[in-house]
Amino acid sequence: MLFPSSLFIAALVGATQAQTPPGFKPQVTTKLNVIFNSTSVTKAGELLTKTATATAPNLALTNVNSTSDTYLFIMIDLDVPGAGSNSTRRTLLHAMTTGFKTTTQKLNGTATLLSTTQKGPAAYFGPGPPSTDTIAHRYVQLLFKQPANLNIPATMFAETTSRLNFNIEAFMKTMGLAAPVAGNFFTVDGRNGTQTGSGGRGNSTVVPFTGAAGRVSEGSSVVGLIGVLGAMVLLV
């Protein structure tokens, strides 16, 4: 997943201000450079489109302390509306990707591009809040050092509904993850008429996870997730 250096011109270096939304835990102050093709998240909370974020981003990290470290990437929607009469908004896991390593490519001469051959255990699918929602959704990206003994069961996200109500703090505790090394977030507003997509998600191509924990069954594909989300009238 190497990224052509010619598209790094507009990327920014890490910032010291909060890179995660107010009130979100874990809070992160080190910036994770998130690049969707030629579109970068230049400022935490920046408004992007469904189209721009439809495929998995490239990642870059400033101040890399060790080239031997392996990283885990997670992306979460914080604003999925509640079901039925419950108005409490919920979380939805949009991506969990293991095995990121540093490369020799640099972003704007400072940040180091990361790369992985993995697609899971929770394959990426793009944001897609539909036009009927009343707020822009916040999508948080977190990068963790991946423990050498990390073992995420293939069954953890085998059921399409298992991405709903994802609790990042509980997951960190269960998997023995330390605080994130970097983070970022952007927003997508389904009310923006220039955005495309239906069924509550953007268009993207995903591949089942085939890592050390085993292969996720074809029956748990994101296509199945779309059906579940549509049936429950969820906004993601």
pLDDT in tens, the chain (236 residues): 554 544 443 444 434 589 999 999 999 999 999 999 989 999 999 999 999 999 999 999 998 888 899 999 999 999 998 888 888 999 999 999 999 999 999 988 889 999 999 989 999 999 999 788 999 999 999 999 999 999 998 789 878 789 999 999 999 999 999 999 999 999 999 987 544 332 333 433 333 333 333 333 333 344 444 444 443 334 45
CB atoms within 10 A of CB 13: 14
- Exposure b/e, 147-164, CB count within 10 A at least 16 = b: eeebebebebbeebeebb
CB atoms within 10 A of CB 88: 8
And the tokens for 55?
């495929």
User: Which of 10, 117, 14, 106 has its CA nearest to residue 67?
Assistant: 106
What residue has token string 């927003």? 187
What residue has token string 């924990």? 213
What residue has token string 């969990």? 96
- Residue 70 CA to residue 172 CA, distance in Å, equals 16
CB of 141 within 8 A of CB of 72?
Answer: no
Domains (ranges, CATH) in the chain? 5-231 (3.90.280.10)
